[in-house]
Amino acid sequence: MLSRLFFELLDGKLETTFLGEIEKMRESCSFSLLYLGISKDADLNKLKRGFYHTATDSSYRDAEWLYISIPTLLCPSLAPQNKQIISVVVYLAKGKYKDITNWKIFKENLIADTINRIEKYLPDIKKHIEVIEAATPKTLERYTLNTDGAAYGWEVSVDQIGDNRLPQQTPIGNLYLTGHWTRPGPGICAVVSSGWGVANLIMEKEKWR
Ligand SMILES: Cc1cc2nc3c(=O)[nH]c(=O)nc-3n(C[C@H](O)[C@H](O)[C@H](O)COP(=O)(O)OP(=O)(O)OC[C@H]3O[C@@H](n4cnc5c(N)ncnc54)[C@H](O)[C@@H]3O)c2cc1C
């Protein structure tokens, strides 16, 4: 996303040292998502909320997982009356997305594999599925324009967080950054604070306070 801003929209307008810093930064992982609409008669209590690790041969750093939750257990009004939702975030190691050319087939496999996994905990779940919606990193990119569907902007690591993320004031006078590609970092609370921070920066500069 920032690459598009600095390297395409502002092509030739910025110093190479600043651009060099950006080139060194690494983008975060993305996710795939699966939402299942389930009939009321299915008993979902055996499916515990939480992380289900799926890696068999990866290093710890790239250990893959599913995060499964049933939001309608907490808030039934999220689904039509007498219906339930299973929500799954699927984390696959970053490298796995590199060579995908047919996202439609990737999505079909993702849906089948994830439902098969859930079936281990809820053996008759397939007959209760009424709605299936899935998203891939390509979907996230399409709706948010985050590069490759990066879920957190830059990768979340010590050398890229807090003051090590890009400053909100860019080398171009009235161009400011806010959100998870800038300080302080990713996640809902951090991006709210990022917006608050940049608003204050502008007000200070314009002597509005
Ligand atoms: C699956 C998933 C689960 C997550 N779970 C959590 C969680 O549990 N807790 C948590 O704290 N964080 C979570 N995160 C991270 C969090 O969602 C992000 O860090 C945060 O939403 C980033 O906010 P943002 O405003 O910087 O950018 P975004 O949320 O990406 O918003 C950018 C917006 O700008 C719009 N846009 C982009 N380009 C243009 C343009 N040229 N013109 C007009 N509009 C444009 C996009 O459409 C989008 O609406 C999750 C992320 C993902 C993908």
pLDDT digits (tens, 9 = 90+) for 105-134: 999 999 999 999 999 999 999 999 999 999
Q: Tell me whether the omega of the peptide bond preceding residue 137 falls within 30 degrees of 0, making it cis.
A: no
How far is ligand 1, taken at its centre, from the CA of residue 122, in Å?
A: 32
Regarding the beta carbon of 192 and ligand 1, being less than 6 Å apart is answered no
182-194 tens-digit pLDDT: 999 999 999 999 9
Residue nearest to atom 14 of ligand 1 (CA): 187
Whether ligand 1 lies within 6 angstroms of the CB of 88 is answered as: no
**Ligand 1 within 6 A of CB of 146:** yes
Secondary structure tally for the chain: helices H, strands E: 6, 5
Model pLDDT, residue 157: 95
For position 57, what pLDDT does the model report? Answer: 59
Q: Is 152 in the pocket of ligand 1 (CB under 6 A)?
A: yes
Q: Do the Cβ atoms of 171 and 14 come closer than 8 Å?
A: yes
Cis, peptide link before residue 167, omega less than 30° from 0: no
Residue 23: which residues within 8 A CB-CB, separation 6 or more? Answer: none
Q: How far is the CA of 51 from the centre of ligand 1 (A)?
A: 22
Eight-class DSSP state of 159: G
Nearest CA to ligand 1 atom 5: 187
How many residues appear in the chain? 209
Q: Of 42, 49, 28, which Cα lies nearest the Cα of 82? A: 42
Q: Whose CA is nearest to atom 9 of ligand 1?
A: 187
- pTM for the model stands at 0.91
Contact 6, 116 (CB under 8 A): no
Assign 98 a pLDDT band (cuts: 50, 70, 90): confident
Residue 153 CA, closest ligand 1 atom number: 19
- Please name the residues in contact with 160: beta carbons below 8 A apart, sequence gap of 6 or more: 25, 26, 154
Q: What is the pLDDT of residue 68?
A: 98
